Amino acid sequence: MHNNRSEFALRGPVVGRKQWLFAGSTGGAEAAATMFSLVGSCMLQGIDPWTYLADVLTRLGDHPVNRVHELCLLYT
């Protein structure tokens, strides 16, 4: 058994550790964690994170709040 996939997933945060040491505020750290989770989830699902974010962010302004969950369903 090997853990190449999990080690590769951790490579980004480890390489950028010094840059992200100081997030500036608690809110900044929470925003960074949210983005890392979103991008990591996209990658695990085989979705290009940049394409997903560009699409979702352009739709978000006109999308009804009670139907936000539909934005996730577009890519599953």
CA-CA distance, 6 to 23, in Å (whole number)?
Answer: 25
Report DSSP letters for 46-72, one per residue: T--HHHHHHHHHHHHTTS-GGGTTHHH
> Are the C-beta atoms of residues 41 and 52 closer than 8 Å to each other?
no
- As a whole number of Å, the CA-based R_g of the chain is 15
Task: Please tell me the pTM assigned to this model.
Answer: 0.60
Q: Kindly list the averaged pLDDT for each block of 10 residues, start to end, along the chain of length 76.
A: 70 69 79 84 87 88 85 68
